């Protein structure tokens, strides 16, 4: 059996997995392929010889109209990605008249046949790509949120600490409020690791981090892992005196857990040394200065025998 080429071409165009619409110079539809039928709810015989803009009045004033005019008047090809216009044609998933609109990428290409000018409109369903893009954006968002959390202990990490300290210091400056910072270090932790092994060392860090977070009662308080076995607490609206009380409560609570320490450690149970520094409009108003003051106090606490709290005023 011999098939004519135009017959085969027409059948193939009808089977294409994208919308194919051809308009003549008057914007009238001369070709409407099979893909368009179930997605628009219109058979080819119903739309043939009608203006595209009468069939879809929503296209008036759209990027598609501009592209069609550009193709027919100026012989210009235009690609309209879905990022520019999500669903220019009112098309829905095949057979679902109330389903979600199809995300589309549209190309408008001019061509001539004899003296007559036409334009070819191709419509691709890119809903899958758009969905994937949305999922990737959601994923990136959750990664961003997770990048502020310390992977081992589940409390805030150093990155978040830096952002939060800067923010809270500015707030204290603006509002003339108070703010205190605790730097907290586990005593003789090297001895702990050497005796019990790194894995149990990690477990100890998790226990201490959770104990610290549990001791901070105000919603605005922030517990963070500052470095290896060093933690920090940012206490907004907290004076130096109040911060000493909080620091001592943390220290006593961890000591009271009775976590067995290594024989070589300074104390038989796991203990903390804590340095406290408080916002001071004249001297301690920059993050680096406040951290340095708390670090000096922490060093003094270590030097004085560990398992104690020292404020920067005493150091």
Decide if residue 201 touches ligand GTP (CB under 6 A).
yes
Beta pairing partners, 79? 107
Among 185, 247, 270, 307, interactor with ligand GTP by CB under 6 A: 185
Among 124, 296, 306, 308, interactor with ligand GTP by CB under 6 A: 306
Long-range CB contacts (< 8 A, 24+ apart) of 191-200?
191/261, 191/262, 191/264, 191/265, 192/261, 192/262, 192/265, 192/270, 194/262, 194/264, 195/262, 195/263, 195/264, 196/262
CB of 203 vs ligand GTP, minimal distance in Å: 8
**What are the DSSP E strand ranges found in the chain?**
19-23, 29-32, 78-80, 104-113, 116-125, 179-186, 222-225, 230-236, 272-278, 309-311
Return the number of other C-beta atoms located less than 10 Å from residue 212's C-beta: 23
Stretch that binds ligand GTP, among 78-86, 101-109, 139-147, 201-209 (CB under 6 A): 201-209
Stretch that binds ligand GTP, among 69-77, 87-95, 196-204, 236-244 (CB under 6 A): 196-204
CA distance 264 to 277: 30
Active-site residue, selected from the candidate residues 65, 122, 168, 229: 229
Site string (232-271) toward ligand GTP, x via CB under 6 A: ----------------------------------------
What is the DSSP-derived secondary structure letter of residue 57?
A: G
CA distance 83 to 60: 19
Q: State whether residue 147 is helix, strand or coil.
A: coil
Q: Which is nearer to ligand GTP, 186 or 291 (CB)?
A: 186
Per-residue tokens: 110: 């001019």
Q: Which is nearer to ligand GTP, 180 or 193 (CB)?
A: 193
Stretch that binds ligand GTP, among 12-20, 164-172, 184-192, 213-221 (CB under 6 A): 184-192
Q: Which of 311, 145, 124, 294 has its CA nearest to residue 226?
A: 294
Q: Which is nearer to ligand GTP, 37 or 266 (CB)?
A: 266
Among 105, 119, 205, 216, interactor with ligand GTP by CB under 6 A: 205
Q: Has 229 been annotated as catalytic?
A: yes
The contact set with ligand GTP (CB under 6 A) reads 185-191, 193, 198, 201-202, 205, 228-229, 302, 306
Residues with active-site annotation: 229
């Amino acid at each position: 059996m011999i098939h004519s080429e135009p017959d085969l071409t027409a059948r193939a165009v009808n089977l294409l997995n994208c919308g194919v619409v051809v308009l003549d110079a008057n914007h009238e539809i001369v070709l409407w392929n099979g893909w368009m039928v179930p997605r628009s709810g219109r058979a080819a015989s119903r739309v043939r010889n009608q203006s595209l803009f009468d069939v879809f009045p929503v296209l008036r004033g759209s990027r598609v109209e501009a592209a069609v005019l550009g193709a027919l008047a100026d012989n210009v090809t235009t690609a309209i990605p879905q990022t520019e216009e999500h669903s220019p044609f009112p098309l829905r998933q095949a057979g679902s008249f109330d389903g979600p609109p199809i995300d589309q990428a549209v190309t408008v290409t001019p061509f001539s046949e004899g003296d007559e000018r036409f334009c070819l409109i191709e419509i691709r369903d890119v809903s899958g790509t758009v969905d994937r893009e949305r999922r990737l954006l959601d994923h990136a968002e959750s990664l961003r949120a997770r990048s502020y959390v310390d992977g081992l202990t589940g409390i805030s990490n150093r990155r978040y600490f830096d952002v939060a300290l800067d923010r809270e210091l500015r707030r204290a400056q603006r509002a003339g409020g108070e703010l205190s910072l605790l730097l907290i270090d586990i005593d003789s932790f090297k001895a702990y690791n050497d005796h019990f092994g790194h894995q149990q060392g990690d477990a100890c860090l998790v226990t201490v981090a959770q104990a610290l977070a549990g001791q901070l009662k105000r919603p605005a308080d922030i517990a963070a892992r500052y470095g290896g076995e060093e933690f920090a607490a940012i206490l907004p609206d907290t004076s130096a005196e109040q911060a000493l009380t909080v620091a001592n409560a943390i220290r006593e609570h961890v000591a009271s857990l009775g976590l067995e320490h290594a024989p070589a450690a300074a104390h038989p149970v796991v203990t903390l040394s804590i340095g406290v520094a408080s916002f001071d409009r004249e001297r301690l108003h920059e993050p680096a200065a406040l951290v340095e003051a708390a670090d000096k106090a922490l060093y003094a606490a270590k030097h004085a025998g560990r398992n104690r709290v020292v404020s920067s005023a005493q150091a």
